[in-house]
């Protein structure tokens, strides 16, 4: 079987910043001659860092969803609302389109990101057989959608300034928003620190193991 | 050129940054994109327009930034009271309410990162004309790559829409001129990001370096 030419096996690697092909010295790390970024064969401690950030994000998701993220006071009355109750209010008001957008951005996306990253990490850590193209698709979705979760926080910052009329109508942010902001930042950093090339490393390794055991089987039969 | 040995050692030009596959091609032809045959990652996209196009766009963005940041975006009125919102006063009210982390995140993602992106791109596109700016230009391209995903004007735009719909049953929402500038700036920002091709900058720098060496070589030998 023809093996694909992998850069690392030939002592080469792509600079992740400017995509220049760099020859790695024996130490395995250098400075990119073109853009000056640090170059590693694989991102340093990628798995550990991604695990840490994913777990942090998952833990922070609890206060982000339990604590209220904002309070709308209208004519002196108003209750703090959490992310979920905010979506429910929009839905009950008949604004189901907006409710869907907010639901996707602030509930579905963070959860999907954390689950997706955890799946990828488990697959790599336990060297499970994986379908690389599927894993890549998951990785690209996870790293692409993260920024949209900030939607809710932007909306809060707009409303806080816009609806500020003392007792008549006022919007206040709640402590949940801080936790949620941290979730978004942490998950974005987690997606950043994950090195997709590890997926292919595991895949190639698995193929090699398979080929070897097949060879042994053939030899045994002969 | 006629050396037969050159064929044996394939001259690798690029490694896919997502799956580490070595490729013999570095850049895509004009108007097309280079896709990794193994993992389908887009490796390089060459726009029809050159560096000047990006420079013009980033300058337009910078100009639009002034009204977008200083003019009010939305106005909310209830009975006799009214309040306006600009890009910055939402951040200010969050900061005053004690949400330092949240307000700095919103400030960073909606004002500082987009502004820096425009400034860096303008600098990169104009500055790459001069040899003495090679180092700062390379550093700017690097910073730009790190900053890229944190500029969230499009997410902010969606936040404005959600706020607009959400509050429209409470009071009267009006669109102010700043919003038009903001939308224009958002579109320009996306266009700028799409049209920027770091490979063209590297090419320009490498080309100039080659010229300099060629010019210096005969002088040095005689």
Give the pairing of strands A21-23 and B42-45. unpaired
Q: Look up the ipTM and state it.
A: 0.86
Give the pairing of strands B172-175 and B33-35. unpaired
Angle at which helices A175-193 and A132-145 cross, to 10°: 140
As for how many domains chain B has, the answer is 2
Decide if A18 is inside a domain. Answer: yes
Decide if A30 is inside a domain. Answer: yes
Give the domain extent around B1. 1-46
Tokens of B44: 């390089």
β-strand partners of A22 = A13
Backbone angles phi, psi at A29, to 5 degrees: -145, 150
β-strand partners of A70 = A81, A173
| Residue A33 sits in the same domain as residue A89 | no
pLDDT tens per residue, range B167-205: 877 778 888 888 999 999 999 999 998 888 888 888 888
pLDDT tens per residue, range A147-178: 888 998 998 898 888 887 777 788 888 889 99
Decide if B214 is inside a domain. Answer: no
Residue B72 touches chain A, beta carbons under 8 Å:
no
- Nearest CA of chain B to the CA of A9: how many Å? 10
Distances (CA, A) of B212 to A59, B46, B131, B221: 56, 26, 10, 15
Q: Given an 8 Å threshold on Cβ–Cβ distance, is A74 in contact with B170?
A: yes
Rounded-to-integer distance, Cα B122 and Cα B54, Å? 8
| Residue A136 sits in the same domain as residue A97 | yes
| Residue A130 sits in the same domain as residue A185 | yes
pLDDT tens per residue, range A96-148: 888 898 899 889 999 999 999 999 999 888 888 888 888 889 999 988 888 88
Which residues lie closer than 8 Å to B6 by C-beta, 6 or more apart?
A: none
Output the pTM of the full model.
0.86
Q: What is the DSSP string of A76-125?
A: TB--EE-HHHHHHHHHHTT-HHHHHHHHIIIIIHHHHHHHHHHHHHHHHH
Closest Cα partner for A35 from B127, B135, B27? Answer: B135
Q: What angle do CA A108, A109, A113 make, to 5 degrees?
A: 115
As for how many domains chain A has, the answer is 2
Give the domain extent around A18. 1-42
A200 in Cβ contact with B23 (< 8 Å): no
Q: Given an 8 Å threshold on Cβ–Cβ distance, is A163 in contact with B79?
A: no
Residue B61: which H helix or E strand, with range? helix B51-70
| Residue A107 sits in the same domain as residue A38 | no
| Residue A100 sits in the same domain as residue A146 | yes
Q: Given an 8 Å threshold on Cβ–Cβ distance, is A35 in contact with B138?
A: yes
β-strand partners of B34 = B44
| Residue B17 sits in the same domain as residue B52 | no
pLDDT tens per residue, range B22-59: 888 777 788 788 888 888 888 888 877 888 889 999 99
Decide if A158 is inside a domain. Answer: no
Contacts of A197 in chain B (CB under 8 A): 17-20
């Amino acid at each position: 079987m023809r093996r694909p030419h992998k850069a690392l096996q030939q002592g080469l690697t792509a600079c992740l910043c400017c995509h220049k092909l760099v020859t790695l010295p024996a130490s395995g790390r250098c400075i990119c001659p073109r853009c000056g970024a640090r170059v590693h064969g694989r991102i340093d401690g990628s798995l550990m860092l991604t695990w840490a950030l994913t777990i942090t994000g998952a833990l922070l998701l609890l206060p982000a969803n339990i604590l209220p993220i904002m309070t709308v006071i209208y004519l002196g009355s108003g209750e703090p609302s959490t992310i979920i109750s905010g979506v429910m209010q929009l839905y009950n008001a008949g604004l189901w389109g907006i409710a869907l957008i907010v639901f996707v951005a602030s509930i579905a996306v963070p959860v999907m990101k954390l689950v997706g990253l955890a799946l990828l990490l488990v697959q790599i850590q336990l060297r499970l057989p994986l379908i690389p193209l599927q894993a890549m698709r998951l990785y690209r979705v996870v790293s692409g959608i993260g920024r949209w979760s900030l939607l809710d926080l932007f909306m809060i910052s707009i409303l806080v300034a816009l609806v500020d009329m003392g007792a008549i109508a006022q919007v206040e942010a709640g402590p949940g928003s801080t936790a949620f902001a941290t979730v978004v930042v942490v998950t974005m950093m987690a997606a950043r620190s994950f090195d997709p090339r590890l997926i292919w490393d595991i895949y190639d390794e698995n193929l090699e193991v398979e080929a070897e055991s097949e060879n042994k089987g053939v030899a045994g039969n002969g | 050129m006629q050396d037969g040995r050159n064929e044996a050692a394939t001259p690798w030009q690029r490694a896919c940054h997502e799956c580490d596959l070595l490729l013999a091609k570095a850049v895509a032809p004009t108007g097309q994109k280079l896709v990794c045959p193994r993992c389908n990652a887009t490796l390089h996209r060459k726009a029809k327009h050159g560096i000047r196009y990006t420079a013009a766009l980033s300058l337009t963005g910078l100009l639009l930034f002034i009204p977008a940041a200083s003019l009010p975006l939305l106005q909310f009125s209830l009975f006799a009271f009214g309040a306006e919102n600009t890009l910055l006063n939402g951040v200010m009210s969050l900061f005053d309410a004690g949400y330092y982390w949240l307000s700095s995140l919103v400030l960073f993602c909606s004002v500082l990162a987009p502004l820096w992106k425009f400034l860096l791109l303008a600098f990169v596109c104009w500055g790459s004309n001069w040899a003495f700016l090679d180092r700062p230009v390379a550093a700017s391209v690097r910073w730009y790559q790190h900053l890229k995903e944190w500029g969230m004007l499009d997410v902010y735009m969606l936040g404005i829409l959600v706020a607009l719909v959400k509050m429209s049953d409470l009071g009267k929402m009006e669109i102010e001129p700043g919003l038009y500038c903001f939308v224009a700036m958002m579109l320009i920002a996306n266009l700028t990001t799409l049209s920027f091709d770091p490979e063209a900058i590297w090419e320009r720098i490498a080309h100039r370096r080659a010229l300099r060496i060629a010019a210096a070589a005969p002088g040095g030998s005689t």
